[in-house]
């Protein structure tokens, strides 16, 4: 009996940048926090359809505000897209929208700041309009809901080498932005790189890897 061939690709997401991979069912992607306390905004589009990974449907199906090992992430059509098969942190966020130019301008008085929405739109290469980029799963992000309903952002609990692994349950394109936020505790005030480790089984074709614009 022969074992199934597995190929492994390692992709660096530079600080404040983004990368994208295409997965088939049975493929696996791991997001690694290289230096610690770095958030990754993750979105997934189901191939060949307008369907996408939906954080609101995932919250509803799971009945909670974070994800952990064993959880399934669901689409806007309530189909399973990804399964968490390993998680060394178990502290992530399903509430906050991706940062965007308006966030930095309105809340921090800053223009021209790198941001996750533009990062994700760029690497998705026109698969969705800018204003239709789905809300992300915020990997490694530590947020808290206070008794009065207000939201706080805390320092991430992830340390160097911490990781979360997802198995693909549907053919999908997964994009991850290494969040550029440096004006609150989201990334420990210091954005750093992330790494993607992609495992493909049985000769699965390689998906797109690089930032579509060729920039960080």
In a domain, residue 63? The reply is: yes
CA dihedral 178, 56, 63, 45 (to 10 degrees): -60
**Domain total in the chain:** 1
In a domain, residue 85? The reply is: yes
Strand 28-33 with 163-168, pairing: antiparallel
In a domain, residue 179? The reply is: yes
pLDDT of residue 2 exceeding 70: no
In a domain, residue 141? The reply is: yes
Give the structural domain span for 81.
6-201
In a domain, residue 208? The reply is: no
In a domain, residue 171? The reply is: yes
In a domain, residue 212? The reply is: no
- pLDDT score, position 213: 37
Give the whole-angstrom CA distance, residue 173 versus residue 141: 22
Quick one: the chain helix, strand, coil %, rounded to 5?
A: 15, 35, 50
Q: Average pLDDT, stretch 43-48?
A: 97
Cβ-count burial 135-174 (b if 16+ within 10 Å, e if not): bbbbbbbbbeeeeeeeeebeebebeeebbbbbbbbbbbbb
The string of pLDDT tens digits covering residues 109-158 is: 999 999 999 999 999 998 999 999 999 999 999 999 999 999 999 999 99
Read off the pLDDT band of 90 (50, 70, 90).
Answer: very high
In a domain, residue 215? The reply is: no
pLDDT, averaged across the chain: 92
pLDDT of residue 214 exceeding 50: no
Share of the chain above pLDDT 70, in %: 92
62 Cα distance to chain centroid? 18
SS3 39: coil
pLDDT of residue 24 exceeding 90: yes
pLDDT of residue 20 exceeding 80: yes
CA dihedral 209, 156, 45, 6 (to 10 degrees): 50
Give the whole-angstrom CA distance, residue 182 versus residue 93: 18
- Looking at the whole model, is its pTM more than 0.75? yes
Range picked from 63-67, 149-153, 179-183 for highest mean pLDDT: 179-183
Give the whole-angstrom CA distance, residue 174 versus residue 43: 6
């Amino acid at each position: 009996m022969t074992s199934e061939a597995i190929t492994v690709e390692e992709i660096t997401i530079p600080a404040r940048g983004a990368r994208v991979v295409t997965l088939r069912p049975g493929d696996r992607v791991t997001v690694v926090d290289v230096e610690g306390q770095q958030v990754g905004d993750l979105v997934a589009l189901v191939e060949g359809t307008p369907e996408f990974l939906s954080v609101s449907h995932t919250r509803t199906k799971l009945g909670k505000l974070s994800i952990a090992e064993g959880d399934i992430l669901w689409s806007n059509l309530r189909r399973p897209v990804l399964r968490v098969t390993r998680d060394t942190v178990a502290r992530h966020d399903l509430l906050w929208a991706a940062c965007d130019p308006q966030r930095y301008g309105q809340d921090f008085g800053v223009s021209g700041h790198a941001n996750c929405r533009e990062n994700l739109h760029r690497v998705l290469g026109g698969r969705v309009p800018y204003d239709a980029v789905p809300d992300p799963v915020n990997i490694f992000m530590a947020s808290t809901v206070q008794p009065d309903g207000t939201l706080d952002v805390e320092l991430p609990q992830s340390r160097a080498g911490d990781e979360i692994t997802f198995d693909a349950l549907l053919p999908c394109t997964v994009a991850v932005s290494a969040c550029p936020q440096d004006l609150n505790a989201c990334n420990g005030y210091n954005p750093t790189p992330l790494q993607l480790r992609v495992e493909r089984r049985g000769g699965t074709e390689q998906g797109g890897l690089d930032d579509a614009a060729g920039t960080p």
